[in-house]
Chains A and B, each alone.
Chain A
């Protein structure tokens, strides 16, 4: 009797504490210096745009206040980074532009993940002819020119959002400044997400499909578990890795989409401003003053770098097989 209990105890002391997939992944991520650097830059930029900028705004700094006697001021002459073509504080403009750029990208990414996971998950889990038809629709929409599909969505949605904004201002007496600012963001966000979810849907579908075929899902099925339980308890948790990786890599591509549309003049409109808008304005004054282009362009590129390195690092950490190390 004694002997049968003894080994159990000693075994417990010998066996190391098991480490989860996530702990393993975190250890691998910590070794990747570029990814850590990217992560730090992402945090710094998020803090600067969403915490520092509002505090500065409360202290009386503004990115919209014009000062025509101080146009194109140099570094430190007026404001930390000087001023733009209308004498506005460039630092505040870049931070406030970043708020909009990041906000649109993050909101669109959330929508993309939601739609992509539901659509791709159903297509992968149901499979068969239904799944194929669902994926053919995605493939078909991906064969449309990017600009046409995004601008098309934006134009359709913005008509309705404008009506809604009028209603809120006229009937509900909301402050028109706030309403119009948001009314400008929403069509753009929906349009980007409306195109962006297609790739997400594809990725989720392929991983849901391969998971559905695995033994543990079959076991869950033969135990008579409901579809909902299988999807939420067994399939979704196992798809979390690819979803997180892809979402991280989606944010920079959405920042880029937003910037491209704003650059074209079909994105953010005044009084809102974004990195793409600032770059477009700056490019007009290239020969007079380079900083007006350089400051938003550098911050914009740096943000894309940081998100991409972080995303690549996450992929290497969460999916070691794919990273070939």
Chain B
């Protein structure tokens, strides 16, 4: 077990290292420089800014400096777009907001999606199945930027106690979380249904039925755990993606989360911010994948031996 964890962590570090390297050179391949977009900066001022942030040095030296700052000083660099702010501050301020929103919508998505998928599988090819699958398809096709405005118009406007947008009151989390949870719920429902149908056609379920085990017990004791495996595989990467914030949802509901930086970082050519985000996201993704793999090993004894 420990060996699996260690080897996966090393793998993650290698992937993150390669990704940062790739991104380091790719962002610098975007035409233009970070300071050209600022109004009223003379060429001399631009040169001074470049020198201040070390961008005037040759690329290999910049690259070496970037790693030196992280590994030696634990410093992810200064934001180039938001002057005077560190990348680590930007992430540590905005991440908790996105995390809170993401965890709530994940919980909602699991609460809706998994039961929906189980019901669909138990009533395979009956109206419950079709109904659940059409709802799930709606969750995939009616996307956040359509759903968000609809919720604002039909729920937030008539209700006085609910803000249309903003992040001041505790109730402000409700609508964005609901908007965000639909996609998760939809994928989970489809995966759970597939997994459940797969398991229910297995021989050992038939044996349990023949033995006279009550059907509720068959589902909870024998079928549920293996049936949830596809959903768990999906939840790993989905977890990392959703807790780092959705640009669209945070934009619609004016939430100061992390999502905005994914777009802002590149459009303003904030090299350090982009690299910091890739690093942070890559590590989160590695951990999330490791957790979902460990859950799979826990769920399926067959995986433990190999």
Q: Give residues in A with beta carbon < 8 Å to B.
A: 136, 139-148, 151-152, 155-156, 159-160, 252, 256, 259-260, 263-264, 266, 276, 279-280, 283, 286-287, 290, 293, 297, 300-301, 304-305, 308-309, 324-325
Contacts and interface: CB of A to CB of B under 8 A. Distances in A.
A144 B153 contact: no
B276 to A, nearest CB: 11
A283 B262 CA distance: 22
Given A263-B145, A287-B153, A304-B141, A156 B248 contact: no
B66 to A, nearest CB: 17
Given A152-B26, A159-B31, A256 B19 contact: no
Contacts of B201: 324
A148 B278 contact: yes
Interface stretch (B33-41, B167-175, B263-271): B263-271
Nearest to A282: B149
Given A143-B286, A148-B274, A159 B30 contact: yes
Given A148-B262, A152-B30, A308-B140, A279 B15 contact: no
Interface of B: 15-16, 18-19, 22-23, 26-27, 29-32, 125, 137-138, 140-143, 145-146, 148-149, 152-153, 157, 194, 197-198, 201, 237, 241, 244, 247-248, 251-252, 262-263, 265-267, 274, 277-278, 281-282, 285-286
B248 A264 contact: yes
Contacts of A308: 137, 140-141
A145 B261 CA distance: 11
B141 A305 contact: yes
Q: Which of B141, B157, B197 has the most CB of A within 10 A?
A: B141
A83 to B, nearest CB: 20
A264 B264 CA distance: 11
Closest 8 pairs between A and B when the two form their complex, measured CB to CB? A159-B31, A304-B141, A147-B262, A324-B197, A283-B149, A297-B146, A155-B30, A143-B285
A147 B251 CA distance: 14
